[in-house]
Structure 1
Amino acid sequence: EIRDLSRRFGRLLGYPSSAINNLLAENSEFRGLEDFQIQGQELIWFFQDLNKAKDFYAEKLGLKLLEENASSATFQIAGDSRLVLKSVADSEYSGQEAKSVALALLTDNLEAWYEHVQKENIPVKYSLKQNPEGAHDGFVAIDPEGYLLEFEMFRQHPENEILMPELQSLEPQSTKLGSNLNFYGSVTWLYYKDMLPMEIFMTENLGLRLSADQGWAKIYRVSENSYLGLVDEKRGMNSFAEEKLVEVKFDLKDANGWEEYLEKTSVDSTRIKNTFKDLGGYLFRF
């Protein structure tokens, strides 16, 4: 295909994927998500006891409740980054699927959050680790039904040269617990057996830009406050699973345009309207 040859030629010339995407967009029908105006991202988790989960995120983490109904609740993490809690009973899931996902809550107040988590008796999977010479610090807590919450702070480091200016431009959003217990963004960590095809999918199919390369983990910016992170299951704190109790939704201003584009370009004959799956089987909505 001409597009594949163009990408190979671009790589031979040393062009980054973003530059190749721009040239293809100017000279072909190729489009990425950004062309349809990404306005935010929602991470969707499913719970057996929705009321208990809502209380946890509203009261123990102090997140702002944006909207709710009998089967779901939407919380703001920061800016255009949101966490949606849904009832398993009102979904197509059994609730036994693996939680092959983690949510990084980005904050520069790790010590305050760690003290708060301990005070609230929230289970901790990995205790607070800090290394002034490292690329990032953090700790990992567990929510009421086993989803992993990574409280994380990134540092000035060679692998964060693109990421840090992006993060430093964000305004921390206070939770109702206090101004020092705040977040300014999130990373949705997804877990894979084979990373290289997924890296290609993110840059060449979705047109997302790489913000940080940790070797076994890659971080892509989706919107102002939201990132997607790909993790090699061999090194990550979760494992790949065929069936998973998680979905991701992109808030697109021109969702109809992206749907029409997928109709013309997708090779997945089983794709359901306004959704697509990545190579690891994660379901994305828009």
Structure 2
Amino acid sequence: MKNTESNFGVGDILATNAFFYYKRLENAWCFYRDILGFQTVADYGFAKIMRVAQTSFVTLVDSDSGMHNAQEPKSVTLAMVTEQVTAWYDYLVASGIPMHRKLEIRAGSPHDGFVTIDPEGYFLEFECFNSHQENISLLPLLSSLDTTYAAHGNRPQELGVKATVLWLYYHDLSSAQQFHEGLLGVEPLVDQGWAKVYPISSSGFIGFVDGEHGLHKPTKQKCVTVSFITDNVDSWFQRAAGWNDFDLLTPKITHESERVRLFVSTDPEGYYFEWDTFLIHNDNADLLRQLRKCRI
């Protein structure tokens, strides 16, 4: 009988990370580095780990070397939570970056923002959560965070990122909530009706969306891997291995190039979830320095 009891939690998850997969990795890297101004904290050649916010990362992967094919549907949206949403919009429009959804500012709205498109079609949302009853539990957490500013490139120095929300899209939102609340030991922080936001790391949030209402429809394949960075990959493996409907893609914890210990599973609707413990290695020096800050 597999475990279904929630006696665990996300307290030892240091940071969130999302793996995106590209046919032209160098082109994508230039966009995230030079236009968005994200810091590259580890460069493995075929993969670049970039810091987005205090405990939020995105990893750009050459699809020829990754777990996903770049042709798979990009059923994911990475949202940057910022207090400078209008200035971000003006900057990206002036930089010639295409928009999927133009900036909307609405009086009394719980959130305002816009959606842009990266070089290979991933949706990137820039969003401000406003003073609103819907956000009453979220706003104190955001106010406690340091803003992350540009590390590189053309991004104006005044444009910051407070946090990230990784939005995932489901056929059965209620079942997805029940599954992940149990596995991760979390409760919803923001309830938007057809979308729920959960805390994972201090600046890294995950959002589960009813695919009938979101930016994407649910798809069988998804060109993304959701990653949680932790010091306790062994404990998470034991938990995942005993969890109903969580299928292990790696039957044991694996070592990749002496840089990371990890395992990968799929949730009931096929999203890949990976837990990573990064090891002492020259290629991880900058990343480990950032992760030490996450422990403070």
When normalised by structure 2's length, the TM-score is 0.83
Which residue matches 2:32?
57
Give runs of aligned pairs for residues 106-121 of structure 1, distance below 5 A: 106-121=81-96
Of residues 133, 152, 156, the one that matches 2:127 is 152
In structure 2, do the counterparts of structure 1 residues 149 and 208 end up closer, same or farther at CA, with 3 Å as the change threshold? same
Paired residues for 1:1-286 under 5 Å = 30-34=6-10, 37-176=12-151, 177-266=155-244, 268=246, 271-272=249-250, 273=252, 274-286=263-275
Q: Distance in 1 between matches of 2:189 and 2:241?
A: 29
Instruction: Note closer, same or farther for the CA distance 1:211–1:106 as it changes in structure 2 (3 Å cut).
Output: same
For residues 241-282 of structure 1, the C-alpha deviation after alignment (integer angstroms, 9 at most, x for no partner) is: 111110011111211111123334455565423222222210
Q: In the superposition, relative to structure 1, how do residues 191 and 155 fare at CA in structure 2: closer, same or farther (>3 Å)?
A: same
Cα pair 2:248 2:266 within 8 Å, conserved: no
Paired residues in the alignment total: 260
- The worse-fitting range, judged by mean Cα deviation, of 264-273 and 220-229 is 264-273
CA distance in 2, matches of 1:44, 1:131: 32
Residues 269 and 130 of structure 1, relative CA distance in 2, 3 Å threshold: closer
Larger Rg: 1
Distance 1:276 1:47 in 2: 21
Read off the aligned partner of 1:199 and give its amino acid letter.
Q
1-structure distance, mates of 2:245, 2:117: 38
Cα contact 2:173–2:210 (8 A) shared by 1: yes
Q: Is the alpha carbon distance of 1:269 and 1:123 closer, same or farther for their aligned partners in structure 2, counting shifts above 3 Å?
A: closer
Structure 1, unmatched stretches of 5+, are 5-23, 25-29
Residues 1:186 and 1:268: Cα distance change in structure 2 (over 3 Å): closer
- Is the contact made by 1:33 and 1:258 (CA closer than 8 Å) also made in structure 2? no
Report what 1:11 is aligned to. Answer: none
C-alpha distance 92-148 of structure 1, shift in aligned 2 (>3 A): same
Counterparts of 1:210 and 1:53 in 2: how far apart (Å)?
33
Q: Secondary structure at the match of 1:165?
A: helix
Given that residues 248 and 265 in structure 2 are in contact (C-alpha distance below 8 angstroms), is that contact kept between their aligned partners in structure 1? no
**Change beyond 3 A, Cα 1:269–1:98:** closer
Q: What do the CA deviations read for 1:97-131 (whole angstroms, capped 9, x no partner)?
A: 10000000010101111111011100001110012
Structure 1 runs, 4 residues or longer, greater than 6 Å off: none
Q: CA deviation at 1:164?
A: 1.0
Matches of 2:220 and 2:174, distance apart in 1: 18
User: Alignment partner of 1:210: what SS?
Assistant: coil
CA distance in 1, matches of 2:79, 2:18: 11
| CA offsets 1:176-210 (integer angstroms, 9 cap, x no match) | 42332110110000000111001111212221231
Preserved contact between residue 32 and residue 208 of structure 1 (Cα < 8 Å): no
Distance of 1:126 and 1:269 partners within structure 2: 35
Counterpart of 2:260 in structure 1 is none
Query: Considering only aligned residues, what root-mean-square deviation do their CA atoms show, in Å?
Result: 1.8
In structure 2, relative to structure 1, the CA distance for the partners of 1:266 and 1:259 (3 Å cut) is farther
Tell me the SS of whatever aligns to 2:40: strand
Percent identity at matched positions?
A: 31
Q: What is the distance in 1 between the residues matched to 2:80 and 2:95?
A: 17
